């Protein structure tokens, strides 16, 4: 199967308030966001032509911008409307949306004040990250040497492009070592998350997840916590040491791209795709494919 490069496709991208041909969606090489990490983004899933929890994602994009010290020049409602229209124009049934915002090229300086703010939206068909086999059997993680930073050293509440540098380094190392993804510890040595997904572990019938005090508490994470409550599954949010991994029976990751993805191994610790993981995976699939008027109200459960 041939996969087209992202820069060379047909269709349109929404850029700074207007729809432009896909191949003409450019930024200047001296953009502040490119040089100094002044960029933010979101990832959104399209199911049956509808963007799941669109407003929550757009609200988080605005919140991330504020964390980085700038304001987006478009309201939540304007970006929601542009996203829906873009999905319609591109004819996306089941895919992905990438909103991104960055500081412009008025000056080359570490200081960002005075730089313009640009926003773009792109969408494409993308049904699944992992194969059906990996979805059924689980993926393998290896712990990376990189750590999630302390809250007083980085804007950990933002979905900031700069924070994903260590994700790239960790994921490349994991791929080279034969793993499917990397597991981060945080700056204190507690289990944190994968490179782009939150972590859940199951002991008996109890669901455990790391306290999100130095990494992003994802929208999919909150959705799964809400589903667990509806299913009567006990949830414990706490600091988890890596020496505890052998105490758990099941493990899975959550994220917009990953959805609910079972994990079969972390550093030699084996897990099964048990009843709790299966129940939450099935509940999530049912929720995202439910009719739009049956889905949670916009903004409900936002982290």
* Domains with residue ranges and CATH for the chain: 12-125 (3.30.470.10), 132-292 (3.20.10.10)
pLDDT at 303 over 60: no
> Of 189, 180, 185, 140, whose CA–CA distance to 166 is shortest?
185
Q: What gap in Å lies between CA 210 and CA 153, rounded to an integer?
A: 20
What are the residues whose beta carbons fall under 8 Å from the beta carbon of 209, sequence distance 6 or more? 198, 199, 200, 201, 221, 225, 235, 236, 237
Q: What gap in Å lies between CA 245 and CA 213, rounded to an integer?
A: 20
Q: What gap in Å lies between CA 250 and CA 274, rounded to an integer?
A: 6
Confidence (pLDDT) at 176:
98
- Per-residue pLDDT, averaged over 253-269, amounts to 97
pLDDT at 297 over 90: no
Confidence of residue 202 (pLDDT cuts 50, 70, 90): very high
Q: What gap in Å lies between CA 101 and CA 119, rounded to an integer?
A: 4
61-71 per-position pLDDT tens digit:
999 999 999 99
> Of 207, 197, 195, whose CA–CA distance to 250 is shortest?
207
pLDDT at 188 over 70: yes
Q: Does the predicted TM-score (pTM) go above 0.95? A: no
Confidence (pLDDT) at 281:
97
pLDDT at 159 over 80: yes
**Residues annotated as catalytic (active site), given as ranges:** 159
Would strands 139-148 and 259-266 be described as parallel, antiparallel, or unpaired? parallel
DSSP assignment letter at 213: S
Confidence of residue 143 (pLDDT cuts 50, 70, 90): very high
pLDDT at 272 over 90: yes
- Dihedral angle, C-alpha 52, 53, 58, 64, nearest 10 °: -110
Averaged pLDDT of the chain: 94
Confidence of residue 300 (pLDDT cuts 50, 70, 90): very low
Confidence of residue 291 (pLDDT cuts 50, 70, 90): confident
| Whether the Cβ atoms of residue 139 and residue 181 lie closer than 8 Å to each other | yes
15-39 per-position pLDDT tens digit:
999 999 999 999 999 999 999 999 9
Strands (E), 44-138: 44-47, 50-51, 95-103, 117-125
pLDDT at 293 over 70: no
Confidence (pLDDT) at 190:
98
Q: What gap in Å lies between CA 163 and CA 146, rounded to an integer?
A: 12
- Per-residue pLDDT, averaged over 259-267, amounts to 97
Q: What percent of the chain has pLDDT over 70?
A: 95
């Amino acid at each position: 199967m041939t996969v087209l490069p992202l820069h060379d496709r047909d269709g349109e991208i929404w850029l700074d308030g207007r729809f432009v041909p896909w191949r003409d969606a450019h930024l200047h090489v001296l953009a502040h966001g490119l040089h100094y990490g002044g960029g933010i983004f979101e990832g959104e899933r399209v199911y049956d032509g509808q963007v799941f929890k669109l407003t929550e994602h757009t609200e988080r994009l605005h919140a991330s911008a504020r964390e980085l010290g700038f304001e987006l020049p478009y309201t939540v409602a304007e970006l929601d409307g542009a996203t829906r229209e873009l999905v319609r124009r591109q004819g996306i049934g089941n895919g992905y949306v990438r909103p991104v915002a960055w500081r412009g090229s008025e000056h080359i300086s570490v200081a960002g004040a005075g730089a313009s703010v640009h926003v773009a939206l792109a969408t494409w068909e993308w049904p699944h990250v992992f194969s059906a086999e990996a979805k059924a059997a689980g993926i393998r993680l290896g712990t990376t040497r990189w750590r999630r930073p302390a809250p007083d050293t980085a804007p950990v509440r933002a979905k900031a492009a700069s924070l994903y540098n260590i994700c790239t380094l960790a994921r490349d190392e994991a791929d080279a070592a034969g793993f499917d993804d990397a597991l981060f510890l945080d700056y204190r040595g507690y289990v944190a998350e994968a490179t782009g997904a939150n972590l859940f572990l199951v002991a008996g019938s109890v669901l455990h997840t790391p306290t999100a005090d130095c990494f992003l508490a994802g929208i999919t994470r909150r959705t799964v916590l809400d589903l667990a409550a509806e299913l009567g599954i006990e949830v414990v949010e706490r600091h988890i040491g890596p020496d505890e991994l052998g105490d758990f029976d099941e493990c899975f990751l959550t994220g917009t791209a990953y959805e609910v993805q079972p994990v079969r191994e972390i550093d030699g610790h084996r897990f099964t795709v048990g009843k709790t993981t299966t129940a939450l995976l099935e509940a999530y699939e049912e929720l995202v494919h439910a009719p739009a008027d049956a889905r949670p109200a916009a903004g409900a459960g936002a982290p």
